[in-house]
Amino acid sequence: MAKYQKILGLFLFFLLIVNISPVNSDEGTKARLFLRNGQIVECDKAWIASKDTVRCKKGMGTILYSIDDIVLGKSIGVSVGESPMPTLQEESAREERLPKEGETARKSGVGSGVSYSLPRPARWTGNINGFFGMKYLDEDDWEPLEEQTEYGVKLDFKQQNWPVSIAIDLLGSSDESTLLYYYPAYGYIPIDVEVKTSELCLGVRKTWDHFATVRPFIGGGLAMINADIEGEAYGLSVSADDDAMGYWIEGGIYWTLAEHFNIGFNVRWSKAEVTIYGVEAEAGGTHAGLLLGYHW
């Protein structure tokens, strides 16, 4: 009985060694990989080199496969463990390269390439657009300077697998006019008045890019808004400004032409209340304008 157990123990030990170590000999049964795309690949030896990579050695070359592309339950002769140390001849002849998605794998010493795909890190994508339009302030607070010309830069970026983009926008608007102020001792005095606002906005932007060229989008977030008023009369000038934290929301659509050039329009609304000379006023407003920019 002891002799039988010893023989059985040696048999199990030999079986364990065979299944864990890659076969170094070029003779004997070759490994066979069944790919999920229907291809069958024969290898001199094959082994799982890491948790997501299978290596197939054919002649003097080695091919890498994603473990997700292989049906391990049907494949034959796939061992577990690292590859044995290659000889100098194998090292100099071997070419290992991770191809881009959809590209054919190249290998040294083997015939035609075998197509496979490996996961790539998601690449960055985004837009930088110029904004050209108008900002409409609260008429009760800013008349007759409530309709202002506005310019700005809008930036958004994300990795391709993110649901939304990070948005950073910088906008500035201004308007000026000459107002007549009646002062009893001097009568009507002309005063040159200029009102300016600026907005630094941080938030998120959701763009739907499922269509060929059309890109509808919405967005929103926080905004730091500044309002500045300057007056000048008879060579004397006075100014005051204030800033406040607020928020913004927007919507719009643009078309991407030749894969990179954007043209569209944007409507947005912002809100933040500032205090100038003790008077509270709304520094946000309604924005509407055109977009021109670049997509990558």
Min mean pLDDT across 28-37, 39-48, 248-257 is at: 28-37
Q: Which of 229, 222, 228, 227 is nearest to 245 (CA)?
A: 222
Interatomic CA distance for residues 115 and 143, integer angstroms: 68
Q: For residue 223, is pLDDT > 90?
A: yes
- The single-letter DSSP state of residue 99 is P
Question: What are 91's two structure tokens?
Answer: 């090292």
pLDDT at 57: 84
Helix (H, G, I), strand (E, B) or coil at 42: strand
Interatomic CA distance for residues 102 and 34, integer angstroms: 19
Report whether the peptide linkage leading into residue 86 is cis, meaning its omega lies within 30 degrees of zero.
no
4: phi > 0 → left, psi -120 to 50 → alpha, else beta; which?
Answer: alpha
pLDDT, tens digit (0-9, with 9 covering 90-100), for 73-121: 777 777 766 544 444 444 445 444 444 444 444 444 444 444 445 556 6
Interatomic CA distance for residues 137 and 148, integer angstroms: 8
pLDDT at 196: 97
pLDDT bucket at 244, cuts 50 / 70 / 90: very high
Helix (H, G, I), strand (E, B) or coil at 46: strand
CB 82 within 8 A of CB 129: no
CB 199 within 8 A of CB 224: yes
The rounded mean pLDDT for the chain is 81
Q: For residue 64, is pLDDT > 80?
A: yes
Domains and CATH numbers, the chain: 2-93 (2.30.30.100), 124-295 (2.40.160.20)
